[in-house]
Amino acid sequence: MATDTQIAIVGGGAAGLAAAISAVQRGCDVTVIEQADRLGKRILATGNGRCNLSNAALDTEKSVFAYNNPKFVQGIIASLGFEDIREFFADLGLMVHVDAEGRVYPRSNSANSVLDVLLNAISSLRVRERCNFAVKSIDVGLEDGFPAFRLSTLEGESLTADAVILATGPDVMPLIDAELARVWREPVLGPLHTQTAPLKGLNGVRVRCAASLRLEDEVFASEYGELLFRDYGLSGIVVFELSRYLQPEQEISLDYFPEYSDNELRELLDHRLQKLNGYSINRFFDGMLHRRVAQAILRNLSYSSYAPAQSMQLERLAHILKDHRFKVTGGPTQAQAQVMRGGLATTGFSPQTLESIRLPKFFAVGEALDIDGRTGGYNLHWAWASGIVAGRAACEAIAQQDSCLLFHPRTVSRVTKVTDI
Ligand SMILES: Cc1cc2nc3c(=O)[nH]c(=O)nc-3n(C[C@H](O)[C@H](O)[C@H](O)COP(=O)(O)OP(=O)(O)OC[C@H]3O[C@@H](n4cnc5c(N)ncnc54)[C@H](O)[C@@H]3O)c2cc1C
């Protein structure tokens, strides 16, 4: 073998480990290169330490719309749906369970189990590891039409490979060559920052409600589920989902009673007022709404808690309970976000194999590509599925090259800079 390894995988996260296992299972010699001191650290932080690794809905046709680029992901998700990923992990020894909303977790409820089975496979299948190796540049030497890659660190260490799978997650840095176009990165799947005055007293309160992103009366996205008030803004799964659609100037609107229409809620309040005749305003809300949310709404309407409930204008009250607005001042920071949107433009890669269209035997997987999905296991599913596909395809590309090389032996000499990552 003229190169150090047949396939170099840059990044030992979810996508890189899946790629390594699938490639070595097809008989290739694989090296995983990781800048950290060990592989798969980020997996341990996922799903609040439980690792929501996939979603059962991924076996339905509509599931591709959970991603920002359904057209690009559809072939890969169709060939590697939830059952295939369950089988991939079952073969490694992982037992899983599926919750009522289709979210898939390890049966142990511990992300450690997911990483353990991956690392056991990496070690028993003899995948080579190079930790503490931060790749800063990748060069390609074209000789007799066959590319070979040289991956180098800033300190001058290097490694050569016949094929490269880029699995660097959100860390892809500017590419200095135009070979691979990229899309600007922005943090998504995180809390939204809002004006803070209306949040007074609400930090830590959880409610189940419908939440929508609006510009005046136009609704851009809406979700239903648990929301968490923070002192800087709004958090919780519903808000994480909305962060994927955030545009400048938008407000977030909370509907605390989505199961009632405007008129039904107005009637309910009227009926309640008759039944609770003589109550003060603060008592009127007891048993109906979280006390601190009620206080925030009363402040907004400039009602005194101790005034008689009969003094409230029910029309105004019903309106704010169905449309409580918060002005959004910003999206999640990178540290708060689960995913970075953007990365390498999918237009430069085959949706079947994830191989670069302009650069043979160069693949990109997981979050390195401009693919992001909903919460609920969709992002890790993409990481596993894209890794497995690229691992297999890289082996096939090498097998084809080797059969050609029997007739055209080559050496690696001339190099052209491709990327600085
Ligand atoms: C707190 C949190 C919770 C999450 N929970 C979930 C969840 O429950 N379910 C879900 O589906 N998704 C979840 N996600 C998203 C999910 O973690 C990612 O989508 C997924 O990890 C992406 O996998 P990846 O392999 O592409 O990237 P990563 O997991 O980020 O792996 C990339 C690896 O490449 C290494 N690397 C980067 N640059 C270099 C370099 N130059 N040289 C060498 N190595 C390099 C990095 O150190 C890293 O180990 C969560 C994310 C966060 C932050």
CATH number at residue 402: 3.50.50.60
Last residue of a domain, one of 292, 314, 330: 330
The per-residue pLDDT for 416 is: 45
Are residues 321 and 347 part of one domain?
A: no
Q: Is the CB of 11 under 6 A from ligand 1?
A: yes
Domain identity same for 108 and 61: yes
Same domain, 181 and 208: no
Residue range of the domain that includes 226: 192-330
Burial class (CB in 10 A: 0-12, 13-18, 19+), 76: buried
How many helices (H) does the chain have, and how many strands (E)?
11, 19
How far is ligand 1, taken at its centre, from the CA of residue 169, in Å? 5
Cα(369) to centroid(ligand 1), Å? 12
Question: What is the per-residue pLDDT for 408?
Answer: 45
Q: Tokens standing for 375?
A: 């919460």
Last residue of a domain, one of 330, 364, 391: 330
Span from the CA of 313 to the centroid of ligand 1 (angstroms): 51
Q: What is the pLDDT of residues 67-109, one digit of tens each?
A: 999 999 999 999 999 999 999 999 999 999 999 999 999 999 9
What is the predicted pLDDT for the residue at 409?
A: 44
Do residues 152 and 203 both lie within one domain? no
Amino acid 171: pLDDT = 83
* CA contacts within 13 A on the Cβ side of 381: 36
pLDDT (0 to 100) of residue 407 = 47
| Residue whose CA lies nearest to ligand 1 atom number 41 | 135
Residues 264, 369: one domain? no
If asked whether residues 45 and 113 sit together in one domain, one would say yes
Pairing of the two strands 158-166 and 362-364: parallel
- CA-nearest residue for atom 51, ligand 1, is 338
Q: Indicate if ligand 1 lies below 6 Å from the C-beta of 364.
A: no
Ligand 1 centre to CA of 371 (Å) is 13
373 lines ligand 1 (CB under 6 A): no
Question: What pLDDT is stored for residue 412 in this prediction?
Answer: 42
Tally the C-alpha atoms within 13 A of residue 365's C-alpha that lie toward its C-beta.
37
What is the pLDDT at residue 144? Answer: 56
Q: Is residue 338 lining ligand 1, measured as CB closer than 6 Å?
A: yes
Regarding the beta carbon of 55 and ligand 1, being less than 6 Å apart is answered no
Ranges of residues in the chain whose predicted pLDDT is under 70 = 1, 142-147, 172-179, 402-421
* Distance between Cα 46 and ligand 1 center (Å): 9
pLDDT value for 179 = 62
Cross-strand bridge partners of residue 270 = none
Same-domain status, 25 and 84: yes
Distant-in-sequence, close-in-space partners of 60: CB < 8 Å, separation ≥ 6: none
In the chain, the number of structural domains is 2
Decide: 34 in ligand 1 pocket, CB within 6 A: yes
> With the C-alpha atoms ordered 390, 396, 398, 401, is the resulting torsion angle positive or negative?
negative
CA distances from 219 to 246, 325, 353 (A): 11, 13, 37
CB of 366 closer than 6 A to ligand 1?
Answer: yes
Last residue of a domain, one of 281, 303, 330: 330
Strand partners, 348: none
